[in-house]
Amino acid sequence: MKLRIGITMFWEANSIERTTVYGPWRYTLNQCYLRLLNGMGAVPVGLLPGGDCTSSERLTGVHGLLMTGGGDPAPELYGRTDQGSHDPETSRPLWEMELYREARLAGIPILAICLGMQLVAIAEGAALIQHIPASVEGAIDHQSGMHLVSLSPGSRLRGILGVEAMVHSSHHQAIESVPAGFAWTACSPDGVIEAIESTDTLVTAVQWHPERDSTGPALAGGFARAARERR
């Protein structure tokens, strides 16, 4: 039986004119995420809100959870006021963090990307740096292209990717600290935390976009091995 990987969607707000007919949200997904799953030989299972079902029911039959990128989470979700967030959202983060918590209870392996990493951290009690250029001294450009990350000695991620990797970056926020039960596994030259992994080995979270760069196949391979063990 092929792996079945649940994957979250991008939530795009409809205009007021369209909401009456179409509802408040459109749910979309960039194809590069599917290429990542295709490389694993996995069947993608789109996870959507709505309907009379629980997060547990949505995850039934799923061997892994892929949490995708998106917009800024509302700072009140981690106990802060707005200090540079762009069009912060509450609906998707609240729904997705509930899904994350249920996956953790069920022992489902998780690969979290960009916003996904931030939601993992918030769900585990950490806060975000809301605008890296304003808060990190000597910040590199995290918003438009490739940059280097260094991998932590002894981490699973270093075992997969090596000492350093060039990654595709598209974010202006980052996690402020490593939550309890996790360890940092990658950072950029300016000290921004670029990846964390859970001490129980079930969660790998990266701030960059492996579906867009050469780290994708190796990360997908590690994710697939964890999902097969769970299956």
Active site residues: 114, 209, 211
Q: How many helices (H) and strands (E) does the chain have?
A: 8, 13
Take residue 150 and report the two structure tokens written for it.
């260094």
Find out whether 176 and 129 touch, Cβ atoms under 8 Å.
yes
Torsion of CA 111, 73, 190, 210, to 10 degrees: 30
* DSSP H stretches of helix in 9-90: 16-22, 31-40, 55-58
Helices 115-123/91-106 angle, 10° precision: 70
Cβ partners under 8 Å of residue 41, min gap 6: 2, 3, 224
